[in-house]
Amino acid sequence: MSRTKKKVGEIRIAKRIVTIGHETYPLANISRVQTLRVVWGGKLATLHPLREITALLLLGGAIALVLQRAGSRLAGADAETVRRIGTAVVALLAVRTAYLLGVLLYRLLLRRKRYALLIETAGTQYTALSGTARDEIHRIQAAIVAAIEDPPATERILHVGGDLVVGDKFGGDKVGRDKNVRSGSPA
């Protein structure tokens, strides 16, 4: 499967089929159409860096405490060497902590919510579209459901705007009933 993002230009709804990108689905076989909000899991989860940040802060504090106590017991060159090594380790921990705080802030403040349009045919779910344009996905979902209930006499073409791509190419994870999704689409 290609990981390149292909923007959706149009969706074609005919009397018996719906075509999204290069995929064609028979309207009679579609048993469910739903929009889901993608919930990041694993290392991509929003709060994942918190555990490492906490561990780094505790480790840095412990090293600083040990350095303070060991510095008073050692004399001369040994004390200076221990102090320099400890300061370098604490500086590296501080850099890593700053990086993780930046990742956390990005995920909390800037990362946009992602949605997926899933089409289920004969028990198999397919991620037809994914992206950040929730209203556009809802509009497409409504048009597909309307075509299932009352197929159009002539082919309808839906022009698609917004940040939508064909399939599940937003993060490499499959979107489906049991993976990284939240039912419905709350804001």
Global pTM exceeds 0.75: no
Q: Domain check: are 118 and 169 in the same one?
A: yes
In sequence order, what are the beta bridge partners of 32? Answer: 120
Question: What is the band of 41 on the pLDDT scale with cuts at 50, 70, 90?
Answer: confident
Q: Domain check: are 30 and 64 in the same one?
A: no
Question: What is the band of 25 on the pLDDT scale with cuts at 50, 70, 90?
Answer: confident
The range of the structural domain enclosing residue 28 comes to 10-41+114-182
Which residues does 13 contact at the CB level (< 8 Å), separation at least 6? 19, 27, 143, 144, 147, 152, 155, 156, 157, 158
Q: Domain check: are 152 and 132 in the same one?
A: yes
* Cα–Cα distance measured from residue 25 to residue 137, given in angstroms and rounded to the nearest whole number: 17
- Res 101: pLDDT: 93
Report which of residues 4 and 114 the model is more confident about: 114
Domain count, the chain: 2
Question: What is the band of 123 on the pLDDT scale with cuts at 50, 70, 90?
Answer: confident
- Res 170: pLDDT: 53
Q: Domain check: are 74 and 94 in the same one?
A: yes
With beta carbons less than 8 A apart as the criterion, state whether 172 and 37 touch: no
Burial of residue 40 (number of CB atoms within 10 Å: 0-12, 13-18, 19+): middle
Asked, for residue 80, whether it belongs to a domain, the answer is yes
